[in-house]
Every structure is written in C-alpha cells, then in structure tokens.
Amino acid sequence: MNITNEQVEVAQAVYTKQTLAVYDLVVLGFSNQFIWKCPTKWLMKHYNQMVTANHLDVGIGTGYFLDRCKFPSQTPRVALIDLNSNTLEFTSQRIARYNPKTYRRNILEPISLDAEKFDSVGINYVFHCLPGTLETKSVALDYLKALMNPNGVLFGSTILQGGVSRNWFAKRLMAIYNKKGFFSNQYDNLEELKSVLNQRFKDISVEVIGCVALFSGRV
C-alpha cells in the first residue's frame, strides 16, 4: 500500500488549536471511557510504569500524559516529535517547566535528530492515525528504534479493529473517522500488532482494555 503525503497531512491536520482546546475533555474524558472502553487512568498507569528520565514522546497530542506523569527525576530530559506545529507549540508550553526540545518530523520517514539517544519512547494513540496497514506503518518503529539506547523501552497504545471487543458506538465512530481520514485502522488487528512488535523488540507486552491495546517492548 503506497502512502501519499496527502494521507499523512489529513491524519494530523485535525489537530487544530480549537481541537486541542477540547481534546482532553472529548477524547481522554468521554471517548476513552464510553466509546473505546479504556479509561484514561489505565493509559496513565501504563505511562508511569514505562517513562524514564530520558524520554522522547511521539505524536504528542496535548501533552496530557507528559504533564501528569511521574518522571523518576525532577529534571527529566524530554523531547517531542510531531508533524503538527500546533501540537508541538501547545505541548511545549504546557510542559515548559521541563524545557522540552521539539522536532517537527514525519515518523514514516527516516528521522534525523542532532541529539543523544533516549531511554524511553512514548507513542500513544499514534498508530491508528497513521495511514496504511500495521505492516506498512510499522516502519515508524524502525526509525524510532534507531533513536533509542540499548535496553530502552518503546511503549504506547493504539485503537484496534480486529481481535478486540468493540461496541456499536466504537464501530460507528471508527467507520466515520476512517472515512474522514482521521483514523486509518480498518485493517489493524491484535495479532498483527504483536507480530510487528516481536519483529523489532524483546520483552514484548500487549494488554487489551476495551478496543485499545497497551504495548511495550525493549531494544
């Protein structure tokens, strides 16, 4: 499946300043609880278990987790990667106390950073927004893995269609989001997620809550 620049742009263009202003309430407050059936507290717990003091966050949204997580240091090194300048600005202001470094990059292309490598990489709610199948968009894992230190952990979450339980509302909303291009997860399933992770990482963990998969793996 060939991915066009237009598909990539559509997927991230939804994150306008207006959208970001209500994202926490609509997505993390309502949709996670009632549509995807994975309350945000479980994503937060997973984040706290995995995050290190030398952290790169990818597809950052509003920076909700970065703002609320328990870093194992008062002065963590934090870097942000996103293709959307709105999210980079919003999140960098929200966590200004950490003095984050920001990089506007497309993770479906090789990533060049003039920076030291990281001990943890967070990629929450990113894969279901990337165009393509899990097999094709998992190339992002290769590019992110190249930015990690030995034994570093990559962790995140994604909304799946196959191999998980979806209520009527989840099926309907996913269909709408896929049609608009906000989501591209119509072919994403649990077994393929495990497969692409196992091909690249060790100590793989995948936990399903509702129709969300929480995953992690080490370099």
Return the SS3 of 122.
strand
User: In the chain, how long is the greatest CA-to-CA distance?
Assistant: 46
Task: Using the predicted structure, report yes or no on whether residue 1 has a pLDDT greater than 60.
Answer: no
Which pLDDT score, from 0 to 100, does residue 141 have? 98
109-160 confidence digits (pLDDT tens)? 999 999 999 999 999 999 999 999 999 999 999 999 999 999 999 999 999 9
List the chain domain ranges: 5-218
Which pLDDT score, from 0 to 100, does residue 5 have? 52
CA atoms within 13 A on the CB side of 11: 25
CATH tag, 5-218? 3.40.50.150
C-beta neighbour count of 136 within 10 angstroms: 16
C-beta neighbour count of 31 within 10 angstroms: 19
What amino acid is encoded at 140 in this protein?
A: A
